[in-house]
Amino acid sequence: MKIFVDANILVSVLNKEYPLYTYTARIVSLANNSNMEIFTSPVCLTIAFYFAEKKSGSKQAKRKIKLICDHLQIADITGTCVKRAANNPAILDFEDGLEYYAAVESKCRHIITEDTKDFHFSDIPVSDSETFIKQHVLK
């Protein structure tokens, strides 16, 4: 299954933000499962780096980003994604629209975010990390 992780999942992992870290780290670790492909986007990585840098400094944040990039697939944000996000009146947050269309173009079947309401327009199922783990991993 291809899943897309939003920036807040990555921030939680990189900064070890408890209690979310228990679930978000498990989500990222699914990249080692042959049945799962975990995607994120350059925008999500940029946001995650920003918050990791604030907590750990530039050198440590870059090391963490490199490590996570070694395990995740990086979805492209194409011109088509940008245009679709800009033209969709249901999308209130442009960044979320970019993430959504990057997930769509990568053929992801699920989006994982801690801000599920931000993806109210999604045709792809959207879950928070705890719900996804309980429904798809621990089933």
Look at residue 79 in the predicted model and tell me its pLDDT.
97
Closest CA to 47 of 91, 95, 85: 95
Look at residue 55 in the predicted model and tell me its pLDDT.
95
Share of the chain above pLDDT 70, in %: 100
Look at residue 115 in the predicted model and tell me its pLDDT.
95
CATH, residue 31? 3.40.50.1010
pLDDT tens per residue, range 94-117: 999 999 999 999 999 999 999 999
Domain that holds residue 33: 2-137
How is residue 52 written in tokens? 């990791």
Look at residue 139 in the predicted model and tell me its pLDDT.
73
pLDDT tens per residue, range 36-62: 999 999 999 999 999 999 999 999 999
Look at residue 12 in the predicted model and tell me its pLDDT.
97
Look at residue 138 in the predicted model and tell me its pLDDT.
85
pLDDT tens per residue, range 11-29: 999 999 999 999 999 999 9
What is the domain count for the chain?
A: 1
Query: 0.75 exceeded by the pTM?
Result: yes
